[in-house]
Structure 1
């Protein structure tokens, strides 16, 4: 059984249908990427999975559980964490306060300090700036904080929406190397990313989304060699 199963997912914004009954799956321990042009429905897919928008129809199952009637905060308790596009950090709180805020629903309080150590090990700059207001961090540091905050939930599945957006190339490399390490430690990743080169280098499998429809699905290496994918998303 896949950790995440999406079947027939449809989402409508007013008169416009953004997702036209898509199917996808993510296995335990995988990195799966969604690639596609702006407006293809990638962000909507993640938001529908995490219940931030209500699907019109379709089914989303996580570890066998139907998520249809659950509010978004219950999904965090089940083991799904979401790093949104734009990071969504709390600018007027410190780095440490942002990280601790993600632990509000946890029952294993003694392990929180262990997870802080893990986050600071992955992102030493956050340790250096833990008393600093999050709004004063650089864009790259804010992205590190958004990922670190998600890790503090101890989720089994992390949804990531455009983690490289607006970052310098050297920071993009750093973020993707850290995502690979997070996956090696046991967290499953579903990644939405405009940088298709980086996404397909990182991922095990991928889906190509066009105007709300899955147009292709294969292992990442196969997609990277596909002439249509190369022409549309990889520059030739």
Structure 2
């Protein structure tokens, strides 16, 4: 699309939020000879919903997997709460306070809803708080409470997405990655999932969102980055993206 990179309102974000919670600097990731991320840099500040927008193959999911320690980083740095995450295992990154809801949900199909939720607490030391958090998840997702003894693999697509988000909440993470949470869902369920995303954010969780449904993503996001073939080509507020004719044509249906 050939967008001109610009900063949007970065200074406003710094002034109101202090230092970033998550900071990505010159991140390079390759799959063999293919460079998937070509030196991207961006920040997520406490209390924000930040969205990564881009076409399939732009590097959005790769970015989340690299931060979560699931794939190796060739160069650059990833800091969370001012501490580098490089060379940490995925389990250690979860313990730092980052939860990742992957594309495809990643639940355990042969375990019940309750077993899935309890398994997500493996890294927690505050065992006395787990029951309270379980009730919190069931309050947010009453459908999961109804199906607490049902196998995860027998749930509908929307219910599986709820379970995946519920598992992330059970980790008590400060930052949650959501990778394509609306994929494969009915329009009614998409609305419900995005309502829940806002509810989780209002409870104090910072969110990094990857979403093909740019219309919905811009409705909930505070700040946005556009990825094209492994490069960030635009950084802006949702309002600025909606007013950009190239963005409207490429991602918002004109």
Shorter-chain TM-score: which interval? Answer: over 0.9
What are the superposed Cα offsets for residues 103-131 of structure 1, whole Å, 9 maximum, x if unpaired? 01111011101111111111100000000
Q: Name the structure 2 match of 1:194.
A: 212
Task: Please list, as runs of the form range in 1=range in 2, the aligned pairs for 1:144-163 lying within 5 A after superposition.
Answer: 144-163=162-181
Secondary structure of the corresponding residue to residue 88 of structure 1: coil
- 1:40-189 matches, within 5 Å, as 40-189=58-207
2:48 pairs with one of 21, 26, 30: 30
**What is the CA deviation profile of residues 134-162 of structure 1, one whole-angstrom value per residue up to 9, with x for unaligned ones?**
00000000000000000000000001100
- CA displacement at 1:219 relative to structure 2: 1.0
Structure 1: where are the runs of 5+ without partners?
A: none
For 2:96 and 2:34, locate their aligned partners in 1 and report how far apart those are by CA, in whole Å.
Answer: 31
What CA RMSD, in Å, does the superposition of the two structures yield over aligned residues? 0.5
1:222 positional shift: 1.1
Which structure 2 residue ranges, 5 or more long, are not aligned?
A: 1-18
Q: Decide which of 228, 231, 244 is 1:226's aligned counterpart.
A: 244
- Report the alpha carbon displacement of residue 225 of structure 1 after superposing the two structures with TM: 1.7
Residue 224 of structure 1, CA deviation: 1.8
State the TM-score, normalizing by the size of structure 1.
Answer: 0.99
Runs in 1 of length 4+ with deviation above 3 angstroms?
none
CA distance in 2, matches of 1:146, 1:13: 27
**Structure 2 CA distance, aligned partners of 1:221 and 1:71?**
37
Q: TM-score under structure 2 normalisation?
A: 0.92
1:58 counterpart SS class: strand
Matched residue SS, 1:12: strand
Partner Cα separation in structure 1 for residue 93 and residue 164 of structure 2: 18
How far is the alpha carbon of 1:66 from its aligned partner?
Answer: 0.5
1:41-63 Cα distance to aligned partner (Å, 9 max, x none) = 00000000111011100000000
SS in 2 for 1:130: coil
Shift of 1:221: 1.5
In 1, the alpha carbon distance for the partners of 2:224 and 2:243 equals: 12
Secondary structure in structure 2 of the residue aligned to 1:46: helix
